[in-house]
Amino acid sequence: MLGKNSKIVILDDDHTIAELAAEILAELGFENINIYNSIDSFTENMRLAIADLFFLDVNLDKADGLTLLSWIKAKQPSSKVVMFSGDTREHLVKEAFQLGAEGFLSKYCLDKNIRSLLNKWNVNYPLT
């Protein structure tokens, strides 16, 4: 179950989107949020880190987010991974779920989409 001390990692090469997602999660009471804006800094740090929840962009500058999803699920199978993208074509969403994603969110209306996902998971917020 996710709680205020759950470790959350956000990887998006769009700094604005990553910051927005972090702000939304912080407003909901999460306190341990790490943002990465490049695949290089993410993979360097993820060798040592374990996270409870990942938010991954599908289209990254130097990597395919779906490939990264497979890598995370292989290394940390109990972690939840949520893909997010401005591109929500059916084949991308289907592939993400086949690879083990627990969610796929549109970057449009991100606040509403994050809240809806947490509601689906029965996460009560604001966290205390």
pLDDT-derived band at 128 (thresholds 50, 70, 90) equals: low
Write the pLDDT tens digit of every residue in 21-52.
Answer: 999 999 999 999 999 998 888 888 877 678 99
Residue 48 has a pLDDT of 66
- What is the H or E stretch that residue 92 is in? helix 90-98
**Distance (Å, rounded) from C-alpha 6 to C-alpha 4?**
6
**Distance (Å, rounded) from C-alpha 28 to C-alpha 103?**
18
What does DSSP assign to residue 37? S
| 98: nearest Cα among 77, 69, 120 | 69
**Distance (Å, rounded) from C-alpha 98 to C-alpha 13?**
24
Predicted TM-score of the model (pTM):
0.93
Write the pLDDT tens digit of every residue in 53-89.
Answer: 999 999 988 888 999 999 999 989 999 999 999 999 9
pLDDT-derived band at 103 (thresholds 50, 70, 90) equals: very high
Answer whether 53's CB lies under 8 Å from 82's CB: yes
Mapped onto helix, strand or coil, the DSSP state of residue 126 is coil
**Distance (Å, rounded) from C-alpha 111 to C-alpha 85?**
14
